[in-house]
Amino acid sequence: MNFLEERIMKDGQVREGDILKVDSFLNHQVDIALLEQIGDAFYEHFKDKNITRVLTVESSGIAIAYPVARRFGVPAVFAKKARSMNLDGDLYTSIVHSYTYNVDNVVTLSKQYLHADDCVLIVDDFMANGKAVQGLLDICRQAGASVAGIGIAIEKGFQNGGRLLREAGVDLYSLAIVDSMDADGTIIFREH
């Protein structure tokens, strides 16, 4: 097991409805040392790809994007989940269904912050069905930007988001892929 899988075994909690609760270190309270390790791991995997921007979606993606962008020495850009009154009109938009909250979110990104000459690394804390990442890929397509790959902290391997992306040839690098989990606390990770 790698550092993240070990931490999930130690502090993650399985809840009804295939929810893996990692609030204590990843997306409510943030263990900075762990996030730094995640940043290092994504940097190692993608360091030869000439990344120019690290792209995520608010809000829990931001704490992942920060250390990754710092390693690469490039800006972090976070898409927003609703049209903000403070944003100018010139936006990329994509509709993303959130199964966690059972709502359609409009994900938006100002056209100023993603261009055709960008080489993007997309990152997020979780991937299940991959809808959020598909929204970010859609925005990159609209911008004409190339996508070097996707870095995910925890992938729910029993949902199909990761499989669809890998079949499409995307370099999807997930630090921990949960193949199954049970409310009794059993968590099975995919072999690396």
In the complex, least distance from residue 14 CB atom to a copy of itself, rounded to whole angstroms: 12
Compose the 19-38 pattern: x for residues touching a copy of itself by CB under 8 A, - for all others.
x-x-xx---xxxxx--xx--
End-to-end Cα spacing for the chain: 9
Closer to a copy of itself by Cβ: residue 57 or 172: 57
Q: Please return the burial class of 162, using the count of CB atoms within 10 Å of its CB with bins 0-12, 13-18 and 19+.
A: buried
Q: Which stretch binds a copy of itself (CB under 8 A): 42-50, 79-87, 139-147, 181-189?
A: 79-87
Cα–Cα nearest to 139, from 169, 113, 173, 163: 113
Closer to a copy of itself by Cβ: residue 20 or 170: 20
If phi over 0 gives left and psi between -120 and 50 gives alpha, with beta otherwise, what is residue 170? beta
Residue with tokens 């397509």: 141
How many angstroms separate the Cα of 13 from the Cα of each of 25, 38, 120? 12, 20, 32
Closer to a copy of itself by Cβ: residue 87 or 95: 87
Residue 28 C-alpha from the chain's centroid: 15
Q: Using CB under 8 A, which residues numbered 111 to 150 contact a copy of itself?
A: 112-113
Closer to a copy of itself by Cβ: residue 9 or 99: 99
Binding residues (CB under 8 A) for a copy of itself: these are 15, 19, 21, 23-24, 28-32, 35-36, 58-60, 62-63, 65-67, 69-70, 73-78, 80, 84-88, 100-101, 109-110, 112-113
